[in-house]
A and B are shown apart, each in its own frame.
Chain A
């Protein structure tokens, strides 16, 4: 029986091959797992779309079908396509088979199976325009079962209705068990992808909510739209979200696509806003956005349109997508070229990826690439690449934000100290100004006056008169000296030129010369890495207190200075023998008091014995290193 059957098959095959119009049949062997059926398919384009299965079988018998090897993708067409292939079970067991059409976008499919006697075995009408529950197998792609009995021949006809979208009919034959096993892995991977993207979306959502930055909001929105589009495109949405309602499929898909482009444009516009000065680009972006808004409205009317308008809208949308992506990429690229802003690099790369994906998909839609729908993996890879780029950018942003905050905290502390020096700085600025004016302006003018007076001639030789004039000149001279010394005393020039240590030693030497009191200051070196105004504050404090002590004629004055820039503090310690200085009310100490007060410094008196006194002053200082940090 089995041998006879085999011979029958071979004979049949030969006959068909002699006719020259048929592909070889699909042979089911014991080790079948899955096989692409494209090589075995011949097809027929029915322009009228009104032929019945009987007409078609007849046409097939007449040899009107053509063989198109390896091409399941027909592209945009307004013709109904009939596909046919033969399947032979060569094994001696009943084979549970799944025949899969892995394009969930096909709107109407009629699936026929005939046995070797041309008796119908099965007829299933399905497609994405029918509710999901009507499917033979609940799966996002179209699956048809066939229990192929041993040594049998089946002829399979598939009719794909005219549809407004492109027509791609990748047919695969699966061993049922293997399909279940393989689909686990496929779904698991897709699930991983959605899981990753969902959390990523959630995090981006959180970030855009907290940052209140349009940049992230747009990106989050884009991400959500992209994800929704893939989810719908893969047929998941139909299966799990609205299985009863097939009509939203296309409208939602197109709306999402259009909104995606709209947000894309706004996102890019927002991003290059600060980077481009040209208004033309913005007008252009605005124009693009308005155009897309118009298309959105057209899409809303989509279900009410007739099929041929729908068809042209699909084509136009496919072209618009490419143009928009190309333009966005161009805008980004030129913004990057003209502004040199490195933050654009990530975005440019992201759009290269996006552009690549869109281009590939559009070429597929136009039937230019005979790609199987399963290879939409590029979308997944693309999204992951883009996500990684954005995550890295975000990571940097978070890192910078944390570092910025740290710096700002340091700066805040510094600003606090610095602000207490501001009053002192203002005073010092004024002193410098006056000193300069006295030295350069008034001083010179007085010298000129002196010269003028010296050149005066007297009436007669009266000594008294001469003396009088000499007195005036002496007086002027005296004023000149006063001006000079005032100018010098206003600004401690040594401090600026030679540093704190030298200036204080000069001050001590000068005081020792001026008075009989011996002042002892033995420190050779002081920490100099504090800023000038801090040095000045210390100098003024030492100066003021020494002057007061000299005025009070105390004895055995000695003092120490400790400056610790790392903790931003300086302390001055005086010791002397004599009466205690009433710090709070003394008029001569007004400057000292005001310095300590404005700097929030501290003063402490200790009396060892009746006469031995100790005065400690602590003030904050600004260290040079922290100042550098700020700048």
Chain B
């Protein structure tokens, strides 16, 4: 079938015919011919040279069939299988070649080597026996055969009935080549297992960091996959439990059970938050019950009653397949329902697993047994060249890459979310500052109104009265002092909350500075004020809010001069430096220790700071006791002018 399909796809029918004819003649010619070992022999499979038979009571001893596949795969037959054939040496000297059975999970078998009619070697093998007892310590079963020049040896292999599939890729191989193949083989297995091991550590690390059960279940699944690999590649036997071979069966049992359970719980943890389907949990629980019952059945029937049964084992495989299909289905549902990217990724993941699992079952003959017929001699649906562990390894790598990428994506989302949140907080804070300033301005207006209503009018009337009283009072000087004092109070009120509503658009920066300095002069008539506003700075079209803030900040700084500085001179400098507007207010007053935070709070610097922040500028106050105070306000030009 394999030949047919391959040639049909490539060539026309007549080529097919010729191909089949030659193929058949080759087949015919090599029937039962010994494998010839020359000086340049490297390796050869038993295909077309050796014969096999599945033993049963009614069969005669002669019904051997020729092995026509590289990897002999008989499925689950639960009967004794015999293989036999001959090798003939044409080498110039004694040659040591190795017989390799490339399936480390054979329970029990015997190899008989007959040289010139005498049985020279009978070797017992199987994973029932301790690893140390093997003649050749390798994960596969290896038998060195020394063959003299021009002699013939007969090799016969008998494998006892076993529950596992009769998957028997067998070859003869020369030592040097075997060393090459074996080192490559172990290097790649090591790479895969190392990769998977660290992946497991990575998942456990994630579980510890993130504390989500999902990762724990996933780690459990992966642990069992790793155990399965250890079992299936014979590495467990070679490196871990070689001295306790009985563990081999227990490991595979526990692994199968643990894997299914892990998958179900993982599925439950994963899908429960993603799919709104009330019966989901019931379906998954049903799987659990099904799996538990199957395992119990196997344990009772096989291990306790000793009945060699196939049905529960088959059931178990059915569960695997059904479960794989269900999970893939759930992946589709997740993808469709939640529209999530991860639904797609997990769907992909489970599909890969399902396919790998089917390939594995096919190769071992389980599928053929289920779906073709138990009587069929070759149980694979289609023939695959690759050896078993490769499927699992391909699956592992696919999984590692997919899952790592998913996790990295999530980590990236986390980072993005962080950045977005940070940006949002910045925006909110900016808005807050604006709202804060707005609140201040609104309240200032209301308060100005209130002050005018409650005090302004009174003060005006008092002033009138005092002016009138000038004539009745002796001491005119005192009256003028009183008037002066009253004016002072009125100035204060104006300063505290003048309802300064102007059309900001029409006011340039130099006018704002003049206005503030006029107020300062009015409050402190003796103060000498000098100022300079550069033309560039004055001409720029600053936006209204910036102008208001500059006005208020200058007011606040001047308030400090009035209230605290006792200065004789004040110098205000406004200029444009590159991309910044710099405002400098310098006095020669008493100064203060600018490092004392409490003091800074007291003199209203917080208020200025708020406004500076709103303008994305910088505030710097330099002062020392007795040495005056210099306030620098720097405002970026960009983002504060009208475009």
Contact = CB atoms under 8 A, between A and B. Distances in A.
Q: Do A and B bind each other?
A: yes
Chain A, interface residues (CB within 8 Å), range = 35 or more
B144 interface: yes
A138 B180 contact: yes
Contacts of A490: 447
A480 to B, nearest CB: 10
A183 B440 contact: no
A405 B488 CA distance: 56
Contacts of B139: 184
Interface in B82-105: 93-94, 96
Residue among A434, A468, A483 with most chain B CB within 10 A:
A434
Interface in A506-530: none
Residue among B93, B440, B450 with most chain A CB within 10 A:
B440
Contact of A191 (B187, B404, B435, B461): B187
B194 A422 contact: no
Instruction: State the majority secondary structure of interface residues on B.
Output: helix
Nearest to A464: B472
Interface string B134-145: 001111000010
Contacts of B409: 210
Contact of A193 (B194, B440, B444): B194
A249 B210 CA distance: 45
B197 interface: yes
A191 B400 contact: no
B482 interface: yes
B209 A457 contact: no
Contacts of A391: 205
Contact of A408 (B193, B205, B208, B418): B418
A459 B472 contact: yes
A96 interface: yes
A515 B428 CA distance: 43
A28 interface: no
Interface string A424-468: 111111110110011001100110110011011111001001001
B197 A422 contact: no
Given A199-B400, A469-B472, A184 B186 contact: yes
A478 B424 contact: no
A427 B473 contact: no
A558 to B, nearest CB: 30
A571 to B, nearest CB: 23
Nearest to B425: A415
Contacts of B189: 188, 191
A424 B439 contact: yes
B588 interface: no
Contacts of A327: none
Nearest to B459: A479
B194 A437 contact: no
A181 B198 contact: no
Given A180-B179, A181-B138, A192-B193, A187 B481 contact: no
Residue among A145, A240, A433, A471 with most chain B CB within 10 A:
A433
Contacts of B435: 419-420, 422-423, 426, 598
Contact of A195 (B96, B196, B401, B437): B196
B183 interface: yes
Contact of B418 (A147, A190, A401, A459): A401
Contacts of B469: 456, 468-469, 472
A402 interface: yes
Interface in B473-495: 473-475, 478-479, 481-482, 485-486, 488-489, 492-493
Interface string B450-482: 110011001101100110110011110011011
B186 A442 contact: no
A419 B431 contact: yes
Interface string B63-78: 0000000000000000
A402 B207 CA distance: 13
Contacts of B13: none
A449 B484 CA distance: 9
A483 B432 contact: no
B393 to A, nearest CB: 10
B504 to A, nearest CB: 19
A199 B401 CA distance: 9
A214 to B, nearest CB: 15
Given A458-B473, A486-B454, A445 B466 contact: no
Contacts of A139: 179-180, 183
A419 B429 contact: yes
B443 interface: yes
Residue among A188, A190, A209, A455 with most chain B CB within 10 A:
A188
A482 interface: yes
Contact of B433 (A194, A200, A422, A438): A422
A30 B108 CA distance: 30
B514 interface: no
A197 B197 CA distance: 11
B423 to A, nearest CB: 10
Interface of A: 94, 96, 136-139, 143, 145, 147, 176-177, 179-181, 183-185, 187-200, 202-203, 206-207, 209-211, 236, 240, 391, 395, 398-399, 401-402, 404-405, 408-409, 411-412, 415-416, 418-420, 422-431, 433-434, 437-438, 441-442, 445-446, 448-449, 452-453, 455-459, 462, 465, 468-469, 471-472, 475-476, 478-479, 482-483, 486, 490, 598
11 contacts: A191-B186, A191-B189, A192-B191, A199-B199, A207-B411, A418-B432, A453-B482, A469-B469, A471-B465, A479-B459, A486-B450
